[in-house]
Structure 1
Amino acid sequence: MKKTVLKRLSLTAAMAVGLGVASSASAQETVSAVTDPSFVPFEMMDKETGEMVGFDMDILREIADRAGFELDLRTMDFNGIIPAVQTGNADLAIAGITITDEREKIVDFSDPYYDSGLRILVPANNDSVDEISDLKGMSIGTKIGSTSYDFLQENLGDSADIKPYPGSADMYMALMGGSVDAVFYDAPNVGYFAQTQGQGRAKVVGPLYEGQQYGIAFTSGSKWLKPANEALAAMKEDGTYDEIYKKWFGEAPSKDGASQ
């Protein structure tokens, strides 16, 4: 009789422990995140699995795991990403977002996680473009809501036909189809296109313009900002960041943190 009672008590205790673990796991908060599905190799849709993959996705998932939150990830055009975070329709956004003074007025940025800049992409047979001033009188594709669009407006204005596109794939298609003479956009993205789909058909020319840093955008006052920064710092310290970087860019970042 005593053994039976003890067995029941043990079973009850085990169930309580199990329920406690389950309760703890289910208590993990879900954070809504948004990204742009067309910024390769930072974020893109795996056609076979339907899952978002890329450098940013690996960084974000590792941060979420270390900071202790689940992800509810949605995709949208880049120009809607900052407004979504600003209005609270998303808790955070990651999409190769350049940290700027204007954006910092409406969202909180994580510590920088990638150093970048802007580059020019032209057809492989174009030998007349070496710098931004050579684009005067030409049609230039860029992305709506991006810092590259702002840069073109400030430096070329009405002296060029600046054509903003909703997605990077659209502007590259326009370049390959002859609808624009050049593309001006984030260096890693144009470089990736030139080495993949555009190989032999397009090339990157000129210097790197506007040294930029990417950050994760959070709603102002977000409680997840500090845990995310701590997780990012730990990833850089223990080598996880370098592993992810090497996976997508073929080599580790230089010692000063700049992309190569």
Structure 2
Amino acid sequence: MKKIISMLLIVCLLGVLASGCGSNMQTVDSIKDSGKLIIHTNAGFAPYEYLSNGEVVGVDMDIAKAIADKLGVELVIEDVKFDTIITSVQGGKAALGVAGITVTDERKESVDFSVTYATSVQYIIVPADADVDTIEDLAGLKIGVQLGTTGNFIIDDEINGIDEDDGSHTKGVLEGTGAECITYNNANLAAAAMDSGKLGAVVIDKLPAEIIGQKYGEKFKVMELVYEDGSKTTEEYAIAIAKGNESLLEVVNEVLAELKNNGKIDEWVLYHSENAVMDEE
């Protein structure tokens, strides 16, 4: 009898937990009921998200506003650390993660992704007099990255190597060279650290790198991250949505399709690339 009661309690507890998890999901209906679309971003990634006069703006914010307009609700932007965005969406703190998020298999285990809306590659920023042409030339340097980004993962793997599932170890091109990966909450902070002599290089996505290069002028040089064998990086951005939130995913994909077809995303990229004001906090 005690076993039966215990099993019933476990079943009830699991049911409560399941319903609690489900209630955290910000569906189209719950968003419309609340009148707000809450998104999480990290405003240090111009032209996609950056601060201008204290307001978070950028390509991604324009996309998010179009989604909010489609739903007929107010857009609420919360500026958070980049490496918390996936878990925030997963846990229901935000309906969407809109932050130039690269689609990866690892992230797909935690969230669903919209259709992709932009393609990028990794770039290296170094002092103008640095003798750097490839990632291998970063040997022995302190390399700044934005925490939780593709650049962070690439530099970590190249410094530490990769332990494969079969027990083998793939050596990284910077492994054993004395190179260090230093993380920052955004690329602007990393660039400022390099400007003050604390770093030898910064690795970040193409457009943010180019904007940083424009800001610092002749002090820095900016180049695509390539390997000595000629191989390069490539990635695609998408919007993160809680797993199984099909109603919201459908709306997001519909809006993205409209924005790509009418050329608005390209228009916003051009505008914000020219007008980005980098936050230096």
Give the TM-score, by structure 2 length: 0.74
Distance, in Å, in 2 between the alignment partners of 1:75 and 1:199 is: 28
Distance 1:184 1:243 in 2: 26
- Look up the equivalent residue of 1:79 and give its one-letter code: D
Q: Name the counterpart of 2:52.
A: 46
1:202-238 CA distances to partner (integer Å, 9 max, x unpaired)? 1112446420011111111222111110111112222
User: Following TM superposition, by how much is the alpha carbon of 1:183 offset from its aligned partner in structure 2, in angstroms?
Assistant: 0.5
Kept after mapping to 2: 8 A contact 1:129/1:205:
no
Match of 1:219 in 2: 242
Distance 1:31 1:211, change over 3 A: same
1:98 Cα shift?
A: 0.5
- Distance in 2, matches of 1:89 and 1:63, equals 18
Aligned equivalent of 1:9: none
**Do the aligned partners of 1:64 and 1:228 also contact (CA within 8 Å) in 2?**
no
Report the RMSD for the aligned CA atoms in angstroms: 1.8
Aligned residues: 221
User: What's the offset of the Cα at 1:28?
Assistant: 7.3
* Greater RCO (Cα-Cα under 8 Å, separation 6 or more): 2
Secondary structure, counterpart of 2:223 in structure 1 = strand
Query: How many Å separate the matches in 2 of 1:238 and 1:42?
Result: 19
Measure, in 1, the Cα distance between the counterparts of 2:260 and 2:141: 42
Maintained 8 Å contact 1:44/1:54: yes
Residue 180 of structure 2: which of 161, 165, 169 is its match?
161
1:143–1:164 CA contact under 8 A, matched in 2: yes
Which of 70-79 and 103-112 deviates more? 70-79
- Bigger Rg over Cα: 1
Matching of residues 36-75 of structure 1 within 5 Å = 36-47=42-53, 50-75=54-79
Equivalent residue runs for 1:42-191 within 5 Å: 42-47=48-53, 50-126=54-130, 128-157=131-160, 158=175, 159=177, 160-191=179-210
Structure 2 runs not aligned, ≥5 long: 1-31, 161-174, 227-231, 275-281
CA contact (8 A) 1:138 1:181 kept: yes
Return closer, same or farther for 1:224/1:29 CA change in 2, 3 Å cut-off. farther
Call closer, same or farther: CA 1:168–1:206 in 2, change over 3 Å.
closer
Q: TM-score, normalised by structure 1?
A: 0.79
Of 257, 260, 263, which residue of structure 2 is paired with 1:233?
Answer: 257
Contact 2:47/2:269, CA 8 A, preserved across alignment: no
